Amino acid sequence: MRAWAERMWTGPRWEAFLLGVLRRAASAGAEPQPWWLPRRVLTVVSVYVDVAAGVGAVWAEWRPGSPRMTQHLALCERYGDRWRYVGGGFGSGDDPVDVDVLDVRDGAGVLSRTRGPVTTAPWISCAKIRLGRDVTHVVIGTRRIEAPGHRALITTWTSPSRHTSPAARPLIVALGHDGTELSRIGPLDSLDSHTWARLRDEEP
């Protein structure tokens, strides 16, 4: 099984797997988790596809719940009429599980391979988002998304070349049942507004 996993995470097989996940996510109502792959082996946590920007991201966990769990973030880019895997990152997946309202962790980032020379090519980034129980929707930039049942999702975006500006993520806002804003985190913020307010209240 370990040998199969090592082959799965690299090379053409991994890229083919990612592209299949993206195609399913881009189809309305399609389940991104492959039917043939048990979730106990590999779980597709979240997929985000921005057709207009031509970028997508996949958050997957190998052996979820296991001491050997590996969390993988993969970034894809559309080139012509095809998607291609351009890079990503992986780690132990030690994110907080019990989130009060909003938790955002910056993830992988890669340079575009199809949009100009290195000095001017845009940067493709992603972030993992975890939501509290009272959050029903999250607004990422101008896109409003219903909170998934497992309270975790990924987002991706492009920004100008890192040679000229930082790879700032879009504004992220968590909304409650009645549409009320519960918290927000700006492009360069390290903590969301709800957490900052709680920390101020806890000051002696």
Vertex 191 angle, CA 146 and 93, to 5°: 70
Q: Which residues pair with 75 in a beta bridge?
A: 57, 87
Instruction: State both tokens at 112.
Output: 């575009």
CA distance 66 to 117: 42
pLDDT, the chain, mean? 86
pLDDT in tens, 40-64: 989 999 999 998 889 999 999 988 8
Band (162; pLDDT cuts 50, 70, 90): low
pLDDT of residue 18: 87
- Cβ 161 vs Cβ 176: under 8 Å: no
Q: Which residues pair with 88 in a beta bridge?
A: 74
Instruction: State both tokens at 44.
Output: 């597709």
pLDDT of residue 15: 85
Q: What is the DSSP letter of 121?
A: P
